[in-house]
């Protein structure tokens, strides 16, 4: 496929807000794609080059891309910079009258050149990247260049995610969404959307049914639901396991001792590391391996060939052994000074599930069977040095459930997780196989809300010095891709939090309201932000609202913390907010 043809499809998607029409356009695009290029088309359409977990980044900021445009079209950098400040979109800086009118460059040719640019590193790499990107732009027509320049700065933003891609793949073959459940199940256990698309295009739905977990490729983590009381949990689950709910970083740990014996081609997906292969993935599928040397050391000591573990990493005081709050644990997410921080703020991982063992997937086995294997996989002689088996108790009574919650809360945990004993691991799903039962304070919701910061308002008085005085938050509607406002927050932050919020917001300011935002004009903030910052918000209750987007609002909202471990897709959804609204009158402390 010619790259210009792909750009034409992107233009059609760009001009529609209808989720159904987007799906139909994607279906036509995928049908026209060849089996050799469909994975590249999927990655590019999502604004990337490889699956998120591989961490392939361009390392080209907006200022660098301004230089690229200036160099490609022989324009002064100052003039391009001025135009960018006025328009706020690099794609709008492309003047079709001054660019190539050739349309012969293929998708694969563009993709290969972008990969060369992305992986270039070392001394002089930034200048080489600018020259190579400028050379690529010169070979493209105006429409192609308009969309291409947005990709390196993560601003292609066509308004759809991997889930819409799965819908488009289903429509490509079946003309409806009937194949979506099978495709989604495959994507949940093998979080490489390009691979799923390529296998489906070339080998059909039967091949998709055979996709299984593999070490080194993250499994999308299972999620929990809520119920209003201990009695309701017992009524729903009957007999279940109760574990602590830690306030740390969700981690999925992969180990493969046979990696050194694998064909050379397998190693190309990952950076070179000493054997055995160890990979540590975050809740949102980022590769965090290099950040946690003590976890690498601990899992490398396990006397097994291969494994995938699910757990929670929590910082602890090396002198007292006391677990530390999330705000301190999250300091371990860093690219520099890792060794020093690991000694200052060590981690331990509370392991609570086993998804893969010695070459065999376990996700279809019931939880009680996985737990037995996990206990044998983490023998007591190997626990404590970075890995610790989550304590567990089988419960059938509401009274005992409340006692356990109080016990874990006293230890500094958020509450407990209640897990069905006879169910498979539901990768990527939120259902009642796992139910969280958190600490409840009088006058608070039984759970916090993970909300997206949509914009901020100028500060007055003392807050003038902070640069902002309130901010607007919202939640996403998974079905439409829109983000709707739910609260304006102007109290409850410390001076340090106001300053931190301003620094974070400065990275994502945009000139106008993002198209996916639903906000009443009376709530328009002074400065709009890209949907990038996720915050954890506590409120007294959810109320009906005549002004907020989804007719619901938070009463007395206050910021708890920033959730750097979550992406926008993982924020509390409109559907979850509506469930909480219906349940809140029933929640028992």
Catalytically active residues, by annotation: 245
Alpha helix (H) ranges present in 396-481? 398-410
Q: For residue 344, how many other CB atoms are within 10 A of its CB?
A: 12
Q: Which residue carries 């959810």 as its tokens?
A: 542
Contacts of 15 (CB under 8 A, 6+ apart): none
Q: For residue 120, how many other CB atoms are within 10 A of its CB?
A: 15
| DSSP state at residue 390 | P
Sign of dihedral through CA atoms 429, 430, 436, 442?
positive
Q: Which residue carries 């979550």 as its tokens?
A: 566
Closest of 319, 308, 380, 389 to residue 348, by C-alpha: 389
Number of H helices, E strands in the chain: 19, 21
Preceding peptide of 276 cis, ω within 30° = yes
The three-class DSSP label of residue 147 is helix
Backbone angles phi, psi at 302, to 5 degrees: -65, 140
Alpha helix (H) ranges present in 96-161? 107-119, 125-138, 142-148
What DSSP letter does each residue of 211-280 carry, written as one string? ----TTSPPPPPEEEE-SSHHHHHHHHSSEEEEEE--SEEEEEEEEGGGGGS-GGGGGGS---SSSEEEE
Strands 430-438 and 223-226, by their bridges, are parallel
The three-class DSSP label of residue 433 is strand
Whole-angstrom distance, CA of residue 575 vs CA of residue 483: 12
Q: Which helix (H) or strand (E) holds 486?
A: strand 483-489
Cβ–Cβ < 8 Å for 571, 533: no
Distances in whole angstroms, Cα of residue 312 to Cα of each of 175, 440, 484: 41, 22, 31
């Amino acid at each position: 496929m010619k790259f210009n043809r792909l750009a034409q499809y992107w233009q059609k998607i760009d001009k529609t807000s209808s989720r159904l029409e987007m799906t139909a356009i994607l279906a036509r695009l995928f049908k026209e794609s060849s089996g050799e290029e469909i994975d590249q088309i999927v990655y590019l359409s999502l604004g990337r080059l490889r699956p998120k977990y591989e961490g392939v980044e361009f390392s080209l900021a907006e200022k660098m891309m301004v230089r690229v445009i200036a160099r490609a079209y022989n324009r002064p950098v100052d003039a391009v910079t001025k135009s960018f400040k006025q328009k706020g979109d690099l794609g709008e800086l492309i003047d079709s009258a001054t660019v190539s009118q050739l349309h012969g460059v293929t998708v694969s040719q563009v993709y290969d050149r972008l990969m060369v640019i992305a992986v270039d590193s070392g001394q002089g790499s930034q200048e080489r990247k600018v020259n190579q990107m400028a050379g690529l732009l010169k070979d493209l027509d105006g429409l192609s260049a308009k969309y291409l320049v947005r990709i390196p700065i993560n601003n292609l933003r066509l308004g759809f995610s991997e889930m819409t891609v799965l819908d488009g793949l289903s429509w490509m073959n079946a003309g409806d969404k009937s194949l979506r459940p099978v495709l989604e199940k495959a994507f949940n256990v093998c979080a490489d959307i390009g691979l799923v698309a390529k296998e489906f295009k070339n080998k059909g739905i039967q091949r998709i049914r055979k996709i299984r977990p593999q070490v080194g490729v993250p499994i999308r983590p299972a999620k929990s639901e809520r119920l209003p009381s201990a009695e309701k949990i017992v009524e729903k689950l009957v007999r279940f396991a109760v574990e602590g709910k830690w306030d740390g970083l969700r981690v999925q740990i992969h180990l493969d001792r046979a990696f050194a014996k694998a064909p050379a081609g397998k190693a190309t997906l990952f950076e070179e590391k000493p054997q055995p292969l160890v990979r540590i993935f975050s809740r949102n599928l980022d590769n965090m391996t290099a950040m946690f040397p003590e976890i690498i050391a601990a899992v490398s000591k396990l006397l097994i060939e291969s494994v995938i573990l699910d757990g929670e990493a929590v910082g602890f005081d090396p002198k007292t052994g006391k677990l530390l709050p999330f705000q301190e644990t999250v300091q371990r997410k860093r690219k520099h000074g890792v060794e020093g921080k690991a000694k200052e703020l060590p981690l331990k991982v509370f392991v609570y599930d086993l998804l893969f063992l010695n070459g065999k997937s376990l996700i279809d086995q019931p939880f009680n069977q996985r737990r037995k294997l996990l206990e044998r996989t983490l023998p007591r002689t190997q626990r404590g040095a970075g890995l610790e088996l989550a304590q567990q108790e089988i419960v059938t009574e509401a009274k005992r459930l409340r006692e356990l919650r109080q016990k874990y809360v006293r230890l500094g945990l958020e509450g407990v997780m209640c897990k069905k004993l006879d169910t498979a691991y539901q990768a990527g799903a939120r259902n009642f196989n796992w139910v969280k039962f958190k600490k409840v304070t009088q006058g608070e919701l039984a759970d916090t809300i993970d909300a997206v910061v949509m914009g901020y308002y100028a500060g007055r008085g003392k807050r003038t010095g902070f640069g902002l005085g309130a901010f607007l938050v919202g939640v996403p509607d998974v079905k439409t891709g829109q983000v709707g406002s739910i609260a304006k927050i102007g109290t409850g932050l410390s001076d340090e939090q106001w300053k931190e919020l301003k620094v974070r917001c400065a990275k994502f300011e945009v000139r106008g309201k993002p198209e996916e935002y639903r906000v009443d004009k009376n709530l328009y903030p002074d400065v709009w932000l890209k949907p990038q910052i996720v915050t954890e918000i506590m409120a007294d209750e959810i109320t009906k609202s005549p002004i907020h987007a989804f007719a619901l609002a938070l009463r007395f909202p206050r910021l708890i913390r920033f959730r750097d471990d979550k992406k926008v897709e993982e924020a509390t959804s409109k559907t979850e907010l509506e469930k909480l609204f219906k349940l809140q009158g029933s929640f028992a402390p």
